[in-house]
Amino acid sequence: MNVDSQKQEAGAKLLEEMLAKRGYLLSYHRMLAASDPGILSAYENLYTRLVLNERALNLAEREIVWIALIVVTRVRYATFHFERATQGGLDDASIVDSAAIGAACESFDALHFNQNAFAKWLPEDQAMQRYFAMFDTARGNLPPAIAEVAAVVCHGALGNAAGMRAHFARAFKLGATTEQMAEGISYLLQHRGGPTMIDAVNCWESAAKEFGIPGPY
């Protein structure tokens, strides 16, 4: 068997295993299987550890974060996270609440703009009071600490350091752990790339020093 045939066979075998584990294949999986099965294998190992294996967040908590993240970044390809949410025990109302977290996070920019542009009429404390009222309504009956982790991740995906900072202290006050926060932020690596995750971790480090909350390391 020549090298090309070996590569083709290795790629086909890996795709078969991925399909059995995930239940779906994406176009870039097929591309990597054809061009460099070794890279795809390394990526699949990382993806399994990063996204599929249970870590600090249980299955339901993990999908709360993912659904909020998917909504705020407008990613249509990630419907499997909704299926996993159902498998993890989230009911329809909880899934809607998870999506609403992403929507609520988007309102932050408008209120943040107002407090800077129209501070005479819309002072910061009033703007943030209304933002958090909207956010708390949006999360419904979801666990408060996990909702705050999801908000940090959503703002991190948007590159919104002010939004992240607004939720860090609340998250830890409500009982989020360092491991849960780190797991949530780690999703940015797969979903938005290394530079976004670097900025998010740097923001956490800065917030830890300012607010006296646990830091990333």
Biggest CA–CA distance in the chain, Å, is 76
The string of pLDDT tens digits covering residues 53-99 is 999 999 999 999 999 999 999 998 888 899 999 999 999 999 999 99
Domain boundaries, the chain: 1-53, 55-211
> Residue 183 in contact with residue 99, Cβ under 8 Å?
no
Question: Could you tell me which of 210, 99, 123, 122 has the C-alpha nearest to residue 164?
Answer: 210
Token pair listed for 52: 């599929």
Provide the whole-model pTM: 0.90
The string of pLDDT tens digits covering residues 125-157 is 888 899 999 999 999 999 999 999 999 999 999
CA 43 to chain centre: 18
Q: What is the DSSP string of 151-188?
A: HHHHHHHTT-HHHHHHHHHHHHHTT--HHHHHHHHHHH
